[in-house]
Structure 1
């Protein structure tokens, strides 16, 4: 396959079979190079990991479920190194090109899967989401992005980054194939509707006022009950983000410590710096961050138990150009994590989608109670109906 977008890893083709008939028949599947697929290595975006991988003899159960449902495998896709970034760059294998705007970053870490879907090479992009690695590239590339309820999908034969946050997730160009994917992976259909959509003032205050007004107008136009609240938690967004990053860095260090100690020179400097930050955290910092997570999780459970869905912007700011300075990338990542960390801390599902008839590339997200994945889909259908 000719790949002008650098979406796919340059591996020789291997035969990956699938039934001719199934609920995902006719849909092409691109798989992030964190999942094992028989006949291929797994590099996780790192040359040293690739060298040590060998050819896998079995396929990750989640990938096999999709294949058994009739999806046609079209290749393994590029990822940020060790899945530890939100930008989409990779010093070993290059940055994929954003088909929506080639001057902008593709977003990461599920960069290749997003680009493969946006460029029309795949209908389903399988990736992972730890701190936003499905939702952010989906937003940047104008796609639907689903971060499932934590622990709801099989994550065996998937290379971890931060296991208490890691979730396999999906990207599609429209809601219908995403609904088919939800069914194929075991999310039973439901007609649940929320009692209301909740808008948190402190969350919408983080973005441009005009964009916020347009998002809120689109929510009200669907005719669903919308109500406002000052905040969804007693802890500030900044403190929640700090707690999230602390836990993420500790777990990322533990997941990659062996690689770092054996081959530190094989890791990009910015990724290595974040790993080192995780190694230097003291236990008290991590315990305090864990306490904040527990508090937020309890508060969000109580809030969402009222059968509400929280609406929020997917991104906190416009994505930078692919040739921007590292400082610009860091500012973008930091701003976005303040919003993207919420579903990670709560273990909750989130569905991101472009707003119909909205000027520019604007992505709205719905955030719901654990196991309310299908309800988010139902609400999204109402909000995107022409």
Structure 2
């Protein structure tokens, strides 16, 4: 009897434990159903549809979520901080941006998690829990608008609203693999939104569908009807792609192939954007000392990122210092240092920071004009793992902010475009258009999206010749970079790029011939002759290689051989004036 009772007790305990485990699993599932994206569920319904023949509301049938920095009447805006929520009353009005979307026919379904005080770009919020990244659950979702990106990525909302100061829309879009649009600064009302850094803050939005992204833009930007314009100038920011760990054939090359297919190769250009900024923004040079010519490319982007962070910190303190001083809130230690320690700047330094913003906007508008796009990576590295030390590393922080600072400091509009996965992490590129070019940018994304996706899928697809194709493609990109450097009279840099192309594809006559041209400019005649000979071995009809070898041999004193090269070039191209003049000149001096 005692033994049976004991047995029954263990059975009951076992069943009880099993029941507890099942319940905990159910609870865990319930908590994870919304991926931790929402702070509060609510519903704002659109007005009734107008009677025919009037057109229905433009956003009819769409649902959206709102980052918890937008005011909604009757709800406390938490700003990602518990102490903020405790010390603020429910809002007495709804942000005009939210109201415009509801009036436009969309249904608001809730408020989503933001980074603490919308200050970080990682998306980890210990107070409200970090939303789970649907595209890579072991990785950060990105911030500040982490929950808004997660809501779209998890198909919980058709689109969502967020705030972008120094990457708050672009970074989570890149981390979660969705479209993210940062409009031109000032293009969307900022009334009823808690400010972070007023001169850089923008209200942006996420979507999975480019058509939805565009429809939302038409409502918020109040864009008048205009004829669709194709881009006439697509600039690849080569130095920016050098900052990333993702292979170029998965990013820049996808864009290049898409542009070639849709608009033709002639509109493609390459730019060392760091050099361009340094030359066009004198206040950046005035505030920071140039250390050496070799550092301009990388350092100018870093200097821009540094200036961006100073302005953000300065303006955040101006907006919220009184509250921080009186409440002394509990905050993430890293954010606490940034927002509580006073930034010491002279009046001249402050003026210089804002001058950088104005000069950069003018420089970017001049570069892009009405129909230009700048193509760059959105973030430097794959999304870091949750709770990893990488987030705090200088390499990650500076690399990421270097890319984000261009739009934040210039006020230009930027869109993040997902391009699938690489090593199980989302990959993206960004397009930047001039300040005020929002409609053009939204239209271009709509026009290019299907082709970009197609080219991204081709790049991902496993093929027996994938490695060969990849190396040939990369070699051609390196050659194009060499051509750009050559045009800019950066001979040594051109040699470097052509050498990279040769390493990737050593059977291409053009690469050797082009490197020879750069060697000639540097006065390296022996190397130029050797490269031309290799080019001729691969292509017996390469006229440029004969001309360049003839020039190298003339400079080395091999006059007879030089005459032979010029004569052979004339056999291939009888009307070639350069070959004719060079051959006749040498024959007069040294005989045939």
3-state SS of paired residue (1:375): helix
Q: 2:439 aligns with which of 350, 355, 374?
A: 374
3-state SS of paired residue (2:415): strand
Aligned equivalents of 2:90, 2:403: Cα separation in 1: 38
Residue 101 of structure 1 deviates from its aligned partner by: 1.0
Instruction: Describe the shift of the 1:182–1:134 C-alpha distance in structure 2 as closer, same or farther (beyond 3 A).
Output: same
Asked whether the equivalents of residues 15 and 39 of structure 1 are also in contact (C-alpha less than 8 Å), the reply is no
Instruction: Describe the shift of the 1:102–1:2 C-alpha distance in structure 2 as closer, same or farther (beyond 3 A).
Output: same
Task: Give the equivalent residue in structure 2 for 1:6.
Answer: 36
Task: Give the equivalent residue in structure 1 for 2:483.
Answer: none
Residue 265 of structure 1 deviates from its aligned partner by: 3.7
Instruction: Describe the shift of the 1:23–1:278 C-alpha distance in structure 2 as closer, same or farther (beyond 3 A).
Output: farther
Which structure has the bigger radius of gyration?
2
3-state SS of paired residue (1:193): coil
TM superposition score normalised by structure 2: 0.62
Task: Give the equivalent residue in structure 1 for 2:396.
Answer: 332
1:245 maps to 2:309: yes
Residue 325 of structure 1 deviates from its aligned partner by: 2.3
Instruction: Describe the shift of the 1:251–1:292 C-alpha distance in structure 2 as closer, same or farther (beyond 3 A).
Output: same
Task: Give the equivalent residue in structure 1 for 2:45.
Answer: 17
1:145 maps to 2:180: yes
Q: Which moved more, 1:284-293 or 1:26-35?
A: 284-293
Instruction: Describe the shift of the 1:326–1:214 C-alpha distance in structure 2 as closer, same or farther (beyond 3 A).
Output: closer
Instruction: Describe the shift of the 1:306–1:230 C-alpha distance in structure 2 as closer, same or farther (beyond 3 A).
Output: farther
Asked whether the equivalents of residues 43 and 107 of structure 2 are also in contact (C-alpha less than 8 Å), the reply is no
Asked whether the equivalents of residues 36 and 129 of structure 2 are also in contact (C-alpha less than 8 Å), the reply is yes
Aligned equivalents of 2:214, 2:429: Cα separation in 1: 18
Asked whether the equivalents of residues 146 and 352 of structure 1 are also in contact (C-alpha less than 8 Å), the reply is yes
Asked whether the equivalents of residues 370 and 434 of structure 2 are also in contact (C-alpha less than 8 Å), the reply is no
Instruction: Describe the shift of the 1:178–1:366 C-alpha distance in structure 2 as closer, same or farther (beyond 3 A).
Output: same
Asked whether the equivalents of residues 38 and 58 of structure 1 are also in contact (C-alpha less than 8 Å), the reply is yes
- Larger relative contact order (Cα-Cα within 8 Å, sequence gap ≥ 6): 1
Asked whether the equivalents of residues 219 and 383 of structure 1 are also in contact (C-alpha less than 8 Å), the reply is no
1:194 maps to 2:208: no
1:353 maps to 2:417: yes
Aligned equivalents of 1:98, 1:112: Cα separation in 2: 9
Q: 2:240 aligns with which of 203, 210, 221?
A: 203
1:169 maps to 2:233: no
Greater per-residue helix proportion: 2
Task: Give the equivalent residue in structure 2 for 1:76.
Answer: 111
Aligned equivalents of 1:2, 1:153: Cα separation in 2: 36
Instruction: Describe the shift of the 1:102–1:214 C-alpha distance in structure 2 as closer, same or farther (beyond 3 A).
Output: closer
Asked whether the equivalents of residues 199 and 228 of structure 1 are also in contact (C-alpha less than 8 Å), the reply is yes
Aligned equivalents of 1:65, 1:189: Cα separation in 2: 18
Task: Give the equivalent residue in structure 1 for 2:248.
Answer: 212
Aligned equivalents of 2:393, 2:87: Cα separation in 1: 30
Aligned equivalents of 2:349, 2:78: Cα separation in 1: 32
Matches within 5 A, 1:222-241: 222=258, 223=260, 224=263, 225-231=267-273, 232-234=276-278, 236-241=300-305
Aligned equivalents of 1:319, 1:102: Cα separation in 2: 11
Q: Which moved more, 1:271-280 or 1:44-53?
A: 271-280
Asked whether the equivalents of residues 189 and 374 of structure 1 are also in contact (C-alpha less than 8 Å), the reply is no
Asked whether the equivalents of residues 237 and 339 of structure 1 are also in contact (C-alpha less than 8 Å), the reply is yes
Aligned length, in residue pairs: 383
1:262 maps to 2:326: yes
1:26 maps to 2:91: no
Asked whether the equivalents of residues 152 and 207 of structure 2 are also in contact (C-alpha less than 8 Å), the reply is yes
Task: Give the equivalent residue in structure 2 for 1:308.
Answer: 372
Structure 2: state its 5+ residue gaps: 1-28, 50-56, 282-299, 455-592
Aligned equivalents of 2:351, 2:93: Cα separation in 1: 38
Instruction: Describe the shift of the 1:198–1:64 C-alpha distance in structure 2 as closer, same or farther (beyond 3 A).
Output: same
Aligned equivalents of 2:421, 2:225: Cα separation in 1: 28
What are the superposed Cα offsets for residues 201-222 of structure 1, whole Å, 9 maximum, x if unpaired?
A: 22222113x6223322212222
Matches within 5 A, 1:18-57: 18-21=46-49, 22-57=57-92
Residue 329 of structure 1 deviates from its aligned partner by: 5.9
Matches within 5 A, 1:265-280: 265-280=329-344
Aligned equivalents of 2:361, 2:316: Cα separation in 1: 21
Asked whether the equivalents of residues 114 and 146 of structure 2 are also in contact (C-alpha less than 8 Å), the reply is yes
Task: Give the equivalent residue in structure 1 for 2:20.
Answer: none
Structure 1: state its 5+ residue gaps: none
